Amino acid sequence: EVQLVESGGGLVQPGGSLRLSCAASGFTFSDYYMDWVRQAPGKGLEWVGRIRNKAKSYTTEYAASVKGRFSISRDDSKNSLHLQMNSLKTEDTAVYYCARDGGNSGWYLWGQGSLVTVSS
Amino acid sequence: DVVMTHSPLSLPVTLGQPASISCRSSQSLVHSDGNTYLNWFQQRPGQSPRRLIYKVSNRDSGVPDRFSGSGSGTDFTLKISRVEAEDVGVYYCMQGTHWPWTFGQGTKVEIK
C-alpha cells in the first residue's frame, strides 16, 4: 500500500527542539521530492519545506517562517524523511504533514499528520 | 509569494443543492509552459487534505463528477452540483505555478 506515516510529535517548551519522522512505503521513495506542510489549530495549510532527490543533490528549501530553525533530511536507504525543528515558538504549534511532491499539481499523497504543541 | 483569496470563507448549503467557491490569485497562474496550475483540495473534519482537482479542471481518480473546476488567469471556481453530507469540510485552492506553492485560506462548507 502506498502510504506515508509520520511520528515524533508531542509537547515541547518554547525554545526547545523536536524531530519528526515520516516513513514511506509502497513507492520508490528515492525518486521523489518530499515536503512538509503544516496546519495550525483551526487554520489553513502552510508549506514548510522541501527536500529534493539525489538527482537534484538533496537540495532543500524552506518557508521564511521557519528558515534557519528547521532542517529537512532524508534517508533513502530507509525510505524515511525527517524534520528537525529547533528554537521552537508557540506559533509553530500545528499538525505537521509529510507529503509526496506531485510537481506543479501539488501533493497527491499525504500522511496522517503529527501534532506538535509548543507551550510552557 | 502569490496570495490566494477565497470567497466566501463560510458556505452553508442545503443537501442536494449546488455550491460554488471562488478563488482569486494575486498574479496570473498561467505558467511559461502554457499550463495553469490551479489545484483544489478537500479536507474533511479530522482528516488529511485530499487533492480533488488539478490544473483547473481535471478531477483526480475517485472524485465524484459532481465536483467541477473552472477558471483562467487569476479567477477560478470550484462547483459542487448537488451537495452531499460527505462533502462537509474545508476546501482549499492551491497554486503550483509560482514557487513556493501557496494555498488559499480555505472555504468551510457546512450543511444548513
Cβ contact B96–A63 (<8 Å): no
Concatenated DSSP letters of B18-30: -EEEEEEESS--B
Split at pLDDT 50, 70, 90, the class of A83 is very high
| A115 Cα to chain B: minimum distance (Å) | 12
Cα gap A34→A36, rounded to integer Å? 7
Split at pLDDT 50, 70, 90, the class of A117 is very high
* B83: number of Cβ within 10 Å: 21
* A44, A104, A112 ranked by CB distance to B96: nearest: A104
Helix, strand, or coil here: B37?
coil
Cβ neighbourhood burial of A41 (10 Å; 0-12, 13-18, 19+)? exposed
What residues contact residue B8 under an 8 Å CB cut-off, 6+ apart? Answer: B21, B22, B107
What is the overall mean pLDDT for chain B?
97
Split at pLDDT 50, 70, 90, the class of A68 is very high
DSSP 8-class letter at A78 = G
- What pLDDT shows up at residue A9? 96
Q: To the nearest whole percent, how much of chain A has pLDDT over 70?
A: 100
- What pLDDT shows up at residue A21? 98
Task: Name the grid cell of A118.
Answer: 509548543
Closest CA to A86 of A36, A19, A17, A20: A17
* B18: number of Cβ within 10 Å: 12
Average pLDDT over residues A5-30: 98
Contact B54, B68 (CB under 8 A): no
CA separation, residue B44 to residues A110, B19, B89 (Å):
14, 16, 4
* B77: number of Cβ within 10 Å: 16
What is the overall mean pLDDT for chain A?
97
Residues of B with CB under 8 A from a CB of A: 31, 35, 37, 39, 41, 43, 48-51, 54-55, 60, 90, 92, 94, 96-97, 100-106
Cβ neighbourhood burial of A56 (10 Å; 0-12, 13-18, 19+)? exposed
* Digit-coded pLDDT (tens) for A18-58: 999 999 999 999 999 999 999 999 999 999 999 999 999 99
Cβ contact A108–B51 (<8 Å): yes
Split at pLDDT 50, 70, 90, the class of B59 is very high
Which of residues B109 and A108 earns the better pLDDT score?
B109
* Digit-coded pLDDT (tens) for B65-104: 999 999 999 999 999 999 999 999 999 999 999 999 999 9
CA separation, residue B91 to residues A25, A74, A88, B22 (Å):
27, 30, 29, 10
Sign of the Cα torsion A24, A27, A28, A30 reads negative
Split at pLDDT 50, 70, 90, the class of A5 is very high
Contact A2, A56 (CB under 8 A): no
